[in-house]
Structure 1
Amino acid sequence: MITSTRRALLSGAGAWSAAGLLAGKWSGPAEAWEPQVLRIPELIDARREGQSVALQVQRGETSFFPNRQTSTLGYNGSHLGPTLRLHSGDETEMVVTNQLQEDTTVHWHGLIIPGPADGGPHQLIRPGSTWRPRLKVKQPAATLMYHSHVHGSTAEQVYAGLAGVLLVADDAERALGLPSEYGLDDLPLVLQDRIFDQGRLVYPNNHMAMMLGVRGDTILVNGTVQPVARVPGRLVRLRLVNASNARIYDLSFTDERSFHWIASDGGLLERPVELRSLRLAPGERAELLVDFSDGRAVTLETEPDGNHPMMGMMGMMQGAADSSRRHTVLRFVPASRGNAAQRPVPDRLVAIEHVDAASAVRRRRLVLTMGMGMRGRGRGSMGGGMMGGGMMGGGMMGGGMMGGEMGGRMGDMMAHGIDGRAFDMNRVDQRVRLGDVETWEVSGEMMAHPIHVHGVQFEVLSRGGRRPDVRDQGLRDTVLVQEPVELLVRFTQPTLDHPFMYHCHILEHEDNGMMGQFAVV
């Protein structure tokens, strides 16, 4: 949905003339089409809805390319979901109805709430049923996300469209005067990569993709292929959400312009950080301020994703690896030249309440371990579920070579895991005390793994035994583990018999065992 304010901007000044937005060649897959207007998700503000927000989880048909439709999933629509805005200090009832033919969940990724409302694998929403969690917001302004988290099918359901942006707003953020016109100078940008065959969405259900995570050759932003955003000629706020299954983005502008990074997963930083590139792993979010007052069109690109251990084998399996070329992410075309001084970048943002590392009462060590990625994944949607049949169905895991009891035993032996153990819904791996602070040392095998921890925020204390990089600052719930990282974690929310998850956010790794759970008591 395009808002009325944004529609008015797009209709003026010859916004879509061939000499303007559509000029120039675009890199992309062989079936690439002309650039398309960036879709802006509908904004649902909880206060305007009387603190009761309804989400319908549904199946639909989506046209990513003209005159070509494909089966997708979405919230309140055929693909992806609306942007939800909650307010710090408020309590909002979410009314989530599952209209699918399979189980799903909705995880409020980055929201610090008790276990029963978290939306992890234990909070299943059966077909035809409704889940009504109450979300009490006790954290500052931030860009979060929401997505499916049903164990064994998370990767497939998110790939098909079950993801959206979740915003938290507060008075401190409003007082800063940051760009705040939703869809105009305050843009939610859901980054994903997908594989298409003649316009049809394809999920590669092969060994290598399951082992290393699915990477597509087509970049989408808000579900738009080759998107173009018409922006005002002034400071614009970009809210980046990496909702890809496995791709790590290394983002920069083609003219090498600088920008200001102002927020991490957990919200605003203490001060803006001027950068020329930004890395964003799956599950991470970041907010940027970009100055478009020069009136020049510019493209946001990403470097190739080299996160895999076996370069020579990658090209043999569809969806397992990236090519060597850069990818176009999003082209920006300012409406006109402007005056950057009209809205300067603030010198200071917010004060962050840091936790004293000396207050940690325990140190835990976690190792993200790689198997062959072939664990039996239950009734996943590729084998007769949501997108079964044709290129999206069947496959080795759906009743073929690995089907049946024998396949299940073999698959578990080949699973990914944490500390050498594959995820078990009936096993609590860690127990912590409510209010405690702990140090978690996390390392990984074979490739970089983004670890996400539910129900908490943490700070990065060290990386590879050294002080963390400037890009590691701020509060986080997800961090890329390329070398051992040391995290300072504070546990403020009880699990109440509904454990929190910690897992690799390469979704195929998560589904195939690289996940654990912890109780806060």
Structure 2
Amino acid sequence: MSRWKRVLIVLGSVAAVFLAAVGGLFAWQWNGAGVSTVGQVRFDNELRVPPLAESTVEKDGTRVFSLRMQAGTTEFQQGLKTPTWGFNGSHLGPTLRAKRGEKVKVLVENTLDEASGVHWHGMHVPAKMDGGPHQEVAPGKTWTPQWKVDQPAATLWYHPHPHGKTEKHVQRGLAGMFLIDDARTASLKLPKRYGVDDLPVAVQDVAFDGADFDHGRRSFLQNTGFLGTRTMVNGTLDPYQVVGDELVRLRLLNASTARIYDFGFGDDRDFTLVGTDGGLLERPQTLKRVQLSPGERAEVVVRMRAGEKAVLRSFPQGNYGGGFEQRFAGGDDSFDVLELRAAAALRKSPKLPSVMGALEVPQEKDAARGRFFGLRMSGINGRKMDRGHVDETVVRGTAEVWTVRNEDGAPHNFHVHDVRFRVVLVDGKPPTGMLRGAKDTVYVPGGSTVKLAMRFEGPADPDTPYMYHCHLLYHEDQGMMGQFVVVEKGQKEGTPASGGHGGH
């Protein structure tokens, strides 16, 4: 008996040591998971404003842009050159701008050593021009999509969408904004001088390993994807912007691959939300916070006083589905993002309009049918992405209601290519804040359900699909993506090619 007692004592001691080690490791991970740059950012670099892309106009009125995907180096930190990718430069890309009703053509050239592509996020385009996984461009090849711009003025963006590699390609710097203008917006008294009182603000989180980007995952306890330890705006670390107007419009874009931000200002001032993914709201809203998951956009107007400074900040969030997810997926993190510095004397700005126009998205009552999408890391509705399989078939011209539920607790969002949708319900309740605007991407926290009304305008193409997916890009790359095709009434779906194309 004494021998067995000694064995049990030894085993108990080993177990106690093991549990203590595991507990200590978990505590270390928990305590080290939170990130905050509040009060630590020097704001000593002037914000880079991406140039407006040059274009030419053909005889038939088609506006032509050129985008070249290329490798290079960028000096984010003084004296240190980081290997990066960009469009028409070493990092990020120019801002493309076109008007509603214009025909657009983009000459896309791939000078990288691997296949990539360009997806027009938020744009209504034919499926063959969408730039998803079926339109990858091989190294040394070109692709020339063209379409007619037929949607309201909005802040869109472009980025690569190669199957299984989107996170890395966006992290390396392949992204840019695409702004659409229209006559209605031009007539409204909104800040609209690009780079002056109308600023693009593309926010990304980054980490550095010496001179190089650190693309690794921060903790083995989270499956969100890469989470950086600091932020940059338009590729600028520690940015400031001098402004000379009373009202400044910020076109906020969450261009991060996994991080969710809750934007506001360090002094907790009010700002005015005027637009979301799909364009202007019906009426401006006064808010203190606007939450953006990866891929979402918001247009906000902030009032400045002469000589003051205002810090755009991302605050901690409490809607990640649970304490564990909130801690390890970035919900407890906070960042000082951008400092606005008002000039000693400011130009007067006109009063913002009280009404901006109706949303061009359907109501729930317009829907011909409904569909359900369950989000899990294992896939959507239990299926991982398969480029050769059509998951859903929709009829051109019809409206539908899609119900999307986060079934596994990890933070997810949901992006649908080609369409803008109306958020009908959030966990059974009417939407508030930015969810009252036209959207193409929506955050779906753990355990939450959203209902979305959308219309499919086509054109019909049974053989070329659009995507729907989680826009946390690690999740997308792991297979949280499905495909749908638009067909004419009575037409059947075809068989999409399983791979991309080489260009020409």
TM-score norm. by structure 1 comes to 0.81
* 1:352 counterpart = 2:351: no
For residue 227 of structure 1, report the CA deviation from its aligned partner.
0.5
Q: Match of 1:406?
A: none
SS of residue in 2 equivalent to 1:97: strand
> Which is higher, the Rg of structure 1 or of structure 2?
2
Amino acid at match of 2:346: G
Q: Match of 1:217?
A: 229
Q: Deviations over 1:360-381 (max 9, x none)?
A: 11111100112xxxxxxxxxxx
Structure 2 counterparts to residues 228-377 of structure 1, below 5 A: 228-304=240-316, 321-322=329-330, 324-338=332-346, 342-370=349-377
The number of equivalent residue pairs is 446
Measure the CA separation in 1 of the matches of 2:179 and 2:51: 13
* 1:430 counterpart = 2:438: no
Measure the CA separation in 1 of the matches of 2:44 and 2:330: 22
SS of residue in 2 equivalent to 1:420: coil
Q: Check whether the contact 2:120–2:157 (CA below 8 A) recurs between aligned residues.
A: yes
Q: Match of 1:517?
A: 483
Amino acid at match of 1:438: E
Measure the CA separation in 2 of the matches of 1:30 and 1:472: 30
Cα distance change on mapping 1:59 and 1:310 into 2, 3 Å: farther
Q: Deviations over 1:78-97 (max 9, x none)?
A: 00000000110001110000
Measure the CA separation in 1 of the matches of 2:229 and 2:246: 32
Q: Match of 2:169?
A: 157
Cα distance change on mapping 1:136 and 1:154 into 2, 3 Å: same
* Root-mean-square deviation over aligned CA pairs: 2.4
Cα distance change on mapping 1:470 and 1:322 into 2, 3 Å: closer
Q: Match of 1:468?
A: 431
Measure the CA separation in 2 of the matches of 1:290 and 1:99: 40
Q: Deviations over 1:423-469 (max 9, x none)?
A: 11111100010011111000012123110000111101101011112
Measure the CA separation in 1 of the matches of 2:230 and 2:298: 22
Measure the CA separation in 2 of the matches of 1:459 and 1:427: 27
Measure the CA separation in 2 of the matches of 1:440 and 1:45: 39
Structure 2 counterparts to residues 78-89 of structure 1, below 5 A: 78-89=90-101
Q: Check whether the contact 1:307–1:447 (CA below 8 A) recurs between aligned residues.
A: no
Measure the CA separation in 1 of the matches of 2:67 and 2:314: 32
Measure the CA separation in 1 of the matches of 2:192 and 2:321: 42
Measure the CA separation in 1 of the matches of 2:280 and 2:122: 14
Measure the CA separation in 1 of the matches of 2:324 and 2:192: 46
SS of residue in 1 equivalent to 2:168: helix
Q: Deviations over 1:50-103 (max 9, x none)?
A: 711000000010111100011111000000000000110001110000000000
Measure the CA separation in 2 of the matches of 1:161 and 1:339: 35
For residue 328 of structure 1, report the CA deviation from its aligned partner.
0.5
For residue 510 of structure 1, report the CA deviation from its aligned partner.
0.2
Cα distance change on mapping 1:502 and 1:269 into 2, 3 Å: same
Q: Check whether the contact 1:295–1:333 (CA below 8 A) recurs between aligned residues.
A: yes
Q: Check whether the contact 1:73–1:162 (CA below 8 A) recurs between aligned residues.
A: yes
Structure 2 counterparts to residues 59-74 of structure 1, below 5 A: 59-74=71-86
For residue 314 of structure 1, report the CA deviation from its aligned partner.
9.3
Cα distance change on mapping 1:325 and 1:125 into 2, 3 Å: closer
Q: Deviations over 1:368-423 (max 9, x none)?
A: 112xxxxxxxxxxxxxxxxxxxxxxxxxxxxxxxxxxxxxxxxxxxxx31011111
Q: Check whether the contact 1:233–1:336 (CA below 8 A) recurs between aligned residues.
A: no
Measure the CA separation in 1 of the matches of 2:329 and 2:304: 34
Q: Match of 1:28?
A: 37
Amino acid at match of 1:41: P
Measure the CA separation in 1 of the matches of 2:476 and 2:360: 31
Using the aligned pairs only, state the percent identity: 43
Q: Match of 2:185?
A: 173
Measure the CA separation in 2 of the matches of 1:145 and 1:158: 12
Measure the CA separation in 1 of the matches of 2:224 and 2:467: 21
Cα distance change on mapping 1:513 and 1:207 into 2, 3 Å: farther
For residue 494 of structure 1, report the CA deviation from its aligned partner.
2.8
Q: Check whether the contact 1:56–1:75 (CA below 8 A) recurs between aligned residues.
A: yes
Measure the CA separation in 1 of the matches of 2:409 and 2:333: 23
Amino acid at match of 1:466: K
